[in-house]
Amino acid sequence: MIISERVNRIGVSSTMKVAAEAKKMTAEGINVIDLSVGEPDLPTPQNVKDAAIRAINENETKYTLNAGTVELRKAIAKKLKDDNGLDYSIEEIIVSNGAKQSIFNAVHTVVYNDDEVIIPAPYWVSYPEMVTLAHGKSVILPTEERDGFKVKPEQLERAITPKTKALILCNPSNPTGSAYTKKELEKIAEVIRGKNFYILSDEIYEKLVYDDFEFISFASLSDEMKQRTVVINGVSKSYAMTGWRIGYTAGPEQIIKGINKIQSHSTSNASSISQAAAVEALIGPQETLEQMRREFERRRNYMFQELISIEGISCYKPEGAFYLFPGISSFFHKSTETLKIENSFDLSMYLLYEAKVAVIPGSSFGAEGFIRLSYATSMENIKEAIVRIKDALVKLA
Ligand SMILES: Cc1ncc(COP(=O)(O)O)c(C=O)c1O
């Protein structure tokens, strides 16, 4: 049996290979500390769980509107107004099964047939694969650690062609945690003013920013940018709700109508119960979110200080998300008895076998020479992981 050419064109990322090996070792009874995680370790807030239980007991258990309940879309519109100063009607908002589906649908609404999509690297692993599935072409723009992994306006300008259909901006970024200031976003907006393509702005880590960093939604920069921006956000990361699968998109009505069509022929509405929970997350008390944010900030500060004290490691101090993305290329070409380290995948495997710590190679995110460490795990785990990483790297040096 032959599977489709389209599926053959996309790959399983090397993220999976490290994770699979880590799982295997854990199953064998080895104490592996997992710093590859992409979700908060804290539980979903109790008020959110209670809202879901209420929804079940009140039989809110049927299909909802394809675009999501009116109540949830009103809560999202209020959030976008209060937090980002953006006015969207509920016809300009659609709820999907996680922000991943929101992005998938947005890419498929905008991109087809060799359309070009500009993606700054390091990028979230799924963007280029989604573009490939939509028959588009990814134009990858490498960024530098010394620039905070932010795309330079002149670099962006050079990448724009008549075939450009979209720019995907991940702000704050997975995997680097770096986030754009208002000034930096304005410089990007200046370059793309008057051009004919969309900005898909993935703002899923919006609430997880540190040191009084002020998050700005790309759509709020000007009327023109609002007309051309598709805002993607959700409750997964901010409210520790990854399993509930609620993401949303706000944007020009014709884009939302397109997404509505795709969703109506694939998954239909997101879970009715999760939608009721998401209403509570967005409009209910926000204290647990702030507690979680502060805890992440504490862990980021600790992990960052420890990492930069290790000889051979460089690290950008990120503004947001829950990842650090240290440069580790100085360990390339070092050897152990059994392994020669040539790239970030080799170093990740070395750390897994030698330190029993799971990390993700930068190559998975289109950035060789780095690894991604998540601090969405307990301080105790982080402290032990750092000790183990230091010991393992000293052996290499
Ligand atoms: C940058 C980015 N966008 C989107 C998502 C998907 O979020 P969700 O779990 O809501 O589908 C993730 C999850 O890892 C992410 O890191």
List pLDDT tens digits, range 258-312: 999 999 999 999 999 999 999 999 999 999 999 999 999 999 999 999 999 999 9
Reported as a pLDDT band with limits 50, 70 and 90, residue 14 is low
What does the pLDDT read at residue 54? Answer: 98
Least confident range of 13-22, 31-40, 313-322: 13-22
Cα torsion angle, 11, 16, 18, 23, sign: negative
Burial code (b: 16+ CB inside 10 Å, e: under 16) for 302-325 equals: ebbebbeebeebbbbbbbbbbbbb
CA distance 48 to 235: 11
Mean pLDDT of the chain: 96
Q: Which residues line ligand 1 (CB under 6 A)?
A: 38, 98-100, 124, 170, 174, 202, 204, 234, 236, 242, 247
* pLDDT above 70 for 343: yes
Can you name the residues that pair with 252 across neighbouring β-strands? none
What does the pLDDT read at residue 43? Answer: 96
pLDDT: is 16 or 133 the higher one? 133
Phi, psi of 141, deg, nearest 5: -110, 105
Residue nearest to atom 7 of ligand 1 (CA): 99
232 Cα: distance to centroid of ligand 1 (angstroms)? 10
Residue nearest to atom 14 of ligand 1 (CA): 38
In this prediction, residues 9-28 reach a mean pLDDT of: 85
What does the pLDDT read at residue 394? Answer: 93
Phi, psi of 312, deg, nearest 5: 95, -5
Q: What burial class does residue 152 get, using C-beta atoms within 10 Å of its C-beta: 0-12 exposed, 13-18 middle, 19+ buried?
A: middle
145 Cβ neighbours under 8 A, 6+ residues apart: 314, 316, 325, 327, 370
What does the pLDDT read at residue 206? Answer: 98
What does the pLDDT read at residue 332? Answer: 96
* pLDDT above 90 for 20: no
Phi, psi of 259, deg, nearest 5: -65, -40
Reported as a pLDDT band with limits 50, 70 and 90, residue 338 is confident
The answer to whether 44 touches 241, Cβ cutoff 8 Å, is yes
213 Cα: distance to centroid of ligand 1 (angstroms)? 21
| Token reading at 341 | 């380290």
What does the pLDDT read at residue 339? Answer: 85
Residue nearest to atom 1 of ligand 1 (CA): 174
Please report, as a single letter, which amino acid is at residue 214.
Answer: E
Rounded to a whole number of angstroms, the distance between the first and last alpha carbons of the chain is 50
The answer to whether 30 touches 366, Cβ cutoff 8 Å, is no
What does the pLDDT read at residue 331? Answer: 96
Among 31, 252, 232, which Cα is nearest to 127's?
232
Q: What burial class does residue 4 get, using C-beta atoms within 10 Å of its C-beta: 0-12 exposed, 13-18 middle, 19+ buried?
A: exposed
Reported as a pLDDT band with limits 50, 70 and 90, residue 17 is confident
Q: Is the peptide bond before 172 cis (omega within 30 degrees of 0)?
A: yes
CA distance 207 to 229: 19
SS3 159: helix
394 Cα: distance to centroid of ligand 1 (angstroms)? 34
254 Cβ neighbours under 8 A, 6+ residues apart: none
* Residue 314: DSSP 8-state: B
In this prediction, residues 334-358 reach a mean pLDDT of: 93
What percent helix, strand, coil does the chain show, rounded to 5? 45, 15, 40
Closest atom of ligand 1 to 100 CA is 11
The answer to whether 271 touches 98, Cβ cutoff 8 Å, is no
273 Cα: distance to centroid of ligand 1 (angstroms)? 20
Count helices and strands in the chain by DSSP H and E runs? 14, 12
What does the pLDDT read at residue 289? Answer: 95
In this prediction, residues 173-181 reach a mean pLDDT of: 98
The answer to whether 356 touches 25, Cβ cutoff 8 Å, is yes
28 Cβ neighbours under 8 A, 6+ residues apart: none
Closest atom of ligand 1 to 236 CA is 10
| Token reading at 182 | 């208002």
